[in-house]
């Protein structure tokens, strides 16, 4: 049995779909649905059972799953980069991961977990997934820190050679519709352009970057789940790995790709960035994926224009989810 935490969420449900496509259905989905609409991501997917995350943690601590789990793919976390309740983040993103990692190692189960590119902070230390430099990283928001502290714990306990951590960059694609403010710009922009025929992007407050010239490593969720499935089947490949394209693009590039996919003339307006996030804003992110390539992952990464076109034309039109 494979356990996928956050299995109804964005990347988690996409990975359930990938497993189904590969013939895997013996899956326990662990999540916390509450009033969210993410349950819709599970429609059409095949899995053995669903369990609330608190019940799953209790079962893990009681030994209910000893010897019954082949792998835990841990995508369950608070992914809100603006969350200010740090106790909540530490419980959900650090302690939860710590419990599952320790259990997986003790029970010889594969453990793959979601770290984040937010751990790199402002990028002054670069974006190389070499865990030897982990102590130099300085996240600029509580979310990033809550992810970073587990990476540090894994390094301190010398378990990074037994587990695989994924530093996701700017992921976009189907199954993110429930994320509200945390949806990708592609998802938000599609609706905005339909309603107003224009796209609003933040102005730049650094001379080195023109308005809309801030850069991000935008990666399609389909590429993410391909990497995750490869790691699931290559159990000796461990450590921290960036999950991105290795090729940063500007917000203007992204905006133009969206207009092109919608067969509309580009019309971008630049607006003031809220002061509350100006000091936490990343002007440049770009994943170094050399380590992943050296580990043996050789599948090509989808180009931005192609990924945006697939998302817009095959999913966003009807908010369609991934299906096996």
Q: Give the residue carrying structure tokens 């951590």.
A: 165
* Cα 237 off chain centre by: 19
Catalytic residues: 143, 179
Give alpha helix (H) positions in 169-220.
185-196
Tell me the C-alpha distance between 71 and 89, whole Å: 24
Task: Please state, in angstroms and rounded to a whole number, the distance separating the CA atoms of residues 257 and 216.
Answer: 14
| Rounded to 5°, angle at Cα 157 from 154 and 162 | 60
Sequence-distant (6+) residues with CB within 8 A of 216 are 169, 170, 248, 249, 251, 254, 282, 284, 285
Separation between Cα atoms, residue 263 and residue 197, nearest integer Å: 11
Cα–Cα distance, 258 to 269 (Å, whole number): 14
Question: Which burial class, exposed, middle or buried, applies to 108 when counting CB atoms under 10 A from its CB (0-12, 13-18, 19+)?
Answer: exposed
For residue 66, which phi and psi values (nearest 5 degrees)?
A: -55, 125
């Amino acid at each position: 049995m494979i356990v996928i935490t956050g299995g109804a969420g964005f990347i988690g449900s996409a990975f359930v779909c990938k497993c189904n496509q590969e013939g895997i259905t013996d899956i326990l989905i662990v999540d916390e649905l509450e009033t969210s609409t993410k349950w819709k991501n599970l429609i059409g997917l095949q899995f053995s059972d669903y369990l609330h995350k608190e019940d799953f943690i209790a079962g893990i601590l009681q030994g209910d799953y000893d010897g019954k789990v082949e792998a835990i793919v841990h995508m369950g976390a608070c992914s809100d980069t603006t969350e200010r309740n740090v106790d909540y983040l530490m419980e959900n993103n650090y302690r939860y991961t710590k419990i599952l990692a320790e259990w997986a190692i003790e029970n010889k189960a594969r453990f793959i977990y979601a770290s984040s590119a937010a751990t790199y902070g402002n990028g002054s230390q670069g974006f190389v997934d070499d865990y030897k430099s982990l102590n130099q990283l300085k996240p600029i928001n509580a979310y990033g820190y809550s992810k970073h502290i587990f990476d540090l714990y894994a390094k301190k306990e010398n378990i990074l050679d037994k587990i695989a951590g994924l530093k996701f960059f700017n992921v976009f694609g189907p199954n993110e519709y429930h994320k509200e403010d945390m949806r990708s710009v592609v998802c938000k922009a599609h609706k905005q352009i339909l309603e107003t025929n224009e796209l609003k992007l933040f102005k730049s407050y650094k001379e080195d970057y023109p308005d809309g010239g801030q850069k991000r490593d935008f990666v399609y969720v389909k590429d993410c789940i391909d990497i995750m499935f490869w790691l699931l089947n290559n159990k000796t490949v461990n450590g921290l790995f960036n999950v991105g394209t290795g090729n940063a693009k500007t917000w203007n590039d992204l905006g133009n790709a969206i207009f092109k996919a919608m067969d509309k003339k580009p019309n971008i307006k630049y607006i003031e960035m809220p002061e509350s996030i100006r000091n936490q804003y990343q002007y440049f992110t770009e994943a170094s994926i050399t380590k992943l390539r050296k580990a043996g992952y050789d599948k090509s990464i989808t180009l931005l224009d192609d990924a945006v076109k697939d998302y817009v034309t095959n999913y966003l039109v009807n908010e369609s989810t991934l299906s096996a």
